[in-house]
Amino acid sequence: MAEPSAQFDAEQAGKFFFRGGHTGWLGLRYCDHGDNWVELELPWREDLVGDAERHVLASGPIISLMDMASGMAIWQTKAVFTPIATLDLRVDYQRPARERSAVRGRVECYRTTRSAAFVRGIAHDGDADDPVAHVAGVFMTIASDPRTGGKANENG
């Protein structure tokens, strides 16, 4: 059996992340990635609707989408999966998503330091030039594993 690659790959990680847990229940899907960005999709579902009369996705699942895309963008940038924690994730809604539309979240990690990573991105429902929301966030990167006292990764 082949050894798994130590380098983080968003597409391969998505196969694991999205098959269970909160992200699996939401139905998040991998779309695309680059060296410092990841794009995911939150499909429209009746049980994720925030306003039954308008049939648009609620804000909570969209925030979860953007938080996950942010984390994956950080791991893609660092090229390794390491522990992180969301310190601040600002979501500025521009408009409601269109009725019965999936929402895509594309986030880039534009700066990393020894202990933090900074992200920005948009959520859209088909037209990236007309976003549903803009996001900006900062995540704490954890350099050592408190359970072992050792390094979490070689880039930490």
| In a domain? residue 103 | yes
| In a domain? residue 5 | no
Q: pLDDT-based confidence at 54, cuts 50/70/90?
A: confident
| In a domain? residue 33 | yes
Burial class (CB in 10 A: 0-12, 13-18, 19+), 76: buried
Whether 118 contacts 83, CB under 8 Å: no
Computed over every residue of the chain, the mean pLDDT equals 90
Whether 7 contacts 80, CB under 8 Å: yes
pTM: predicted TM-score of the whole model, two decimal places: 0.88
CATH label of the domain that carries residue 128: 3.10.129.10
**Rama region for 102: left / alpha / beta (φ>0; ψ in -120 to 50; rest):** beta
Domains identified in the chain, total number? 1
Q: pLDDT-based confidence at 155, cuts 50/70/90?
A: very low
Q: Give residue 140's domain range.
A: 10-151
Element (H, E) at 124: strand 116-124
* Mean of pLDDT values over 36-50: 95
Single-letter amino acid, residue 63: I
| In a domain? residue 2 | no
48: three-class secondary structure by DSSP: helix
